[in-house]
Structure 1
Amino acid sequence: MSAGGDADDGAPHFDDGFFAGFLTLLRWRRDVRAFDPRTVPDAELALALAACDLAPSVGNSQPWRFITVADPQRRAAVRASFLRCNAEALAAQPDDRAPLYARLKLEGLDTAPVHLAVFCDEGTTQGHGLGIRTMREMLRYSVVTAIHNFWLAARCRGLGVGWVSIIEPDVVAAALDVPAEWQLVAYLCVGYPRAPDDVPELEREGWQAHSEGGLRLIQR
């Protein structure tokens, strides 16, 4: 990256080298499920979390709420929810997919040193309701942009992130005693990856190959 935009207005210019590095970061942003037991320094986690507030949000509402889950009993409630949901998902698999599903490691709850529950505050007054009258789901989409910022920033610091979605949102909300207006968007496992890889695990395990169809762009 070099200083100065085309109009020499002081804005940064992102050159080809920066863009190539950015694409490398995207390729190495993987959904991590196996973690090294090393402790994540608070300062490193704080740097990644700070990137969340650079995310775009509808009406500048910043509705994301991150909770660090360290209490063993609360973690146990989340894990129990995962085990229930995962067993149901396994039972619902067709016969030819069930053995493969059973081999997949779908969460890092037992090994990740950091657990983060990410909620959308759907009762926030910040933003004064701008942009959500007809599409209230924009609040949750805004939270997802913050999560993506965190994910990329964490990878820059050598950290891996795994998104656990095979859980019951109501159970997690109750375990963490959050306000009724908060809706769960993500449960993230964070730590140093045991074996970094730029190929998605689901692709390596034969669950789903990456589609090389280019941009999913339709012209009308």
Structure 2
Amino acid sequence: MSADNAFNDAERQGLYRAIFERRDVRSQFLPDPVPAAVLGRLLEAAHHAPSVGFMQPWDFLVIESREVRRRVLDNFDQENERAAGNYTGERESTYRSLKLQGILDSPLNLCITCDRSRGGPTVLGRNSIVETDLFSTCLAVQNLWLAARAEGIGVGWVSILDQASLARVLELPESVYPLAYLCIGYVSEFLDQPELQAKGWRSRLPLEELVHHDHWSGELAPGHPLAEWLAERPRRK
């Protein structure tokens, strides 16, 4: 086995720390502005995400206007009220107690969009799975999120939005889809575990229950090196 191209121990630990300490931030934003150089580094990290056919379907809308953000918040409030109707009793009460956005709390918002026409009608690698433009843009979001954690910046993804209404507020072209609406800023803390887990909404699923072998019903045999690693590894929150 060759590890000639591997990062050194400190570099690896930094990457894994960003992965395991990344959080969806909603309640801990500080008013401190994000310096242009820091924001620029985050955008550059996002822009270096992989994309099918190197189509690079993303654009980045930096949103500082309070008026624009208030209109987005109105959108959220309407959709959040609709979403609350999916639950009853204690589950509904718990849902309504959750803070699920930081649209005005964060110093800036960012919408990462996907231009579904970028690259033209024929994009290498997209013939069979046309959604690869959306998948590629999600990778840009993840790149930005991990880079943000390394910079001490919190990110919260606001997914409870009507996308057609959001596109109108942001005046997007018809071919451009508002894939991720993000709240960004420095935070007072990064929680030890995801907020929804801490508040009892859901827990992280055990990794060993999600690993299959060769086919869906296949299990790793006792003594398989990966089965042993899964059994012996330290548990994370």
TM over 0.5: yes
Deviations 1:80-128 (A, max 9, x none): 0100010111122122301111111101112111100111000112695
Written as runs of structure 1 = structure 2, the 5 A alignment for 1:166-177 is 166-177=160-171
Written as runs of structure 1 = structure 2, the 5 A alignment for 1:29-68 is 29-34=22-27, 35-68=29-62
The 3-state SS of whatever aligns with 1:134 is coil
State the alpha-carbon separation in 2 of the partners of residues 100 and 162 from structure 1. 20
Aligned-pair CA distance for 1:18? 2.9
Aligned-pair CA distance for 1:56? 0.5
2:103 is the alignment partner of 1:109: yes
Written as runs of structure 1 = structure 2, the 5 A alignment for 1:142-157 is 142-157=136-151
Match of 2:235 in 1: none
State the alpha-carbon separation in 2 of the partners of residues 80 and 116 from structure 1. 17
Written as runs of structure 1 = structure 2, the 5 A alignment for 1:93-132 is 93-125=87-119, 128-132=122-126
Q: Do 1:30 and 1:160's aligned partners in 2 also have CA atoms closer than 8 Å?
A: yes
Q: Which amino acid aligns with 1:19?
A: R
> 105, 127, 130: which one pairs with 1:133?
127
Written as runs of structure 1 = structure 2, the 5 A alignment for 1:183-198 is 183-198=177-192
Match of 1:21 in 2: 14
- Alignment RMSD, CA only? 1.8
The answer for unaligned runs of 5 or more in structure 2 is: 216-237
With the length of structure 2 as denominator, give the TM-score of the two structures.
Answer: 0.84
| Residue identity (%) | 36
With the length of structure 1 as denominator, give the TM-score of the two structures.
Answer: 0.90
Deviations 1:31-76 (A, max 9, x none): 0112011111111110111101221100000001110112222212
Aligned-pair CA distance for 1:14? 1.4
Q: Do 1:64 and 1:143's aligned partners in 2 also have CA atoms closer than 8 Å?
A: yes
State the alpha-carbon separation in 2 of the partners of residues 125 and 179 from structure 1. 16
Alignment: residue pair count: 212
Q: Which amino acid aligns with 2:163?
A: P
Q: Which amino acid aligns with 1:25?
A: A
Q: Do 1:25 and 1:155's aligned partners in 2 also have CA atoms closer than 8 Å?
A: yes
> 81, 88, 95: which one pairs with 2:75?
81
Aligned-pair CA distance for 1:212? 2.0
Match of 1:9 in 2: none
State the alpha-carbon separation in 2 of the partners of residues 209 and 26 from structure 1. 17
Q: Which amino acid aligns with 1:15?
A: N
Q: Which amino acid aligns with 1:160?
A: G
Q: Do 2:70 and 2:104's aligned partners in 1 also have CA atoms closer than 8 Å?
A: no
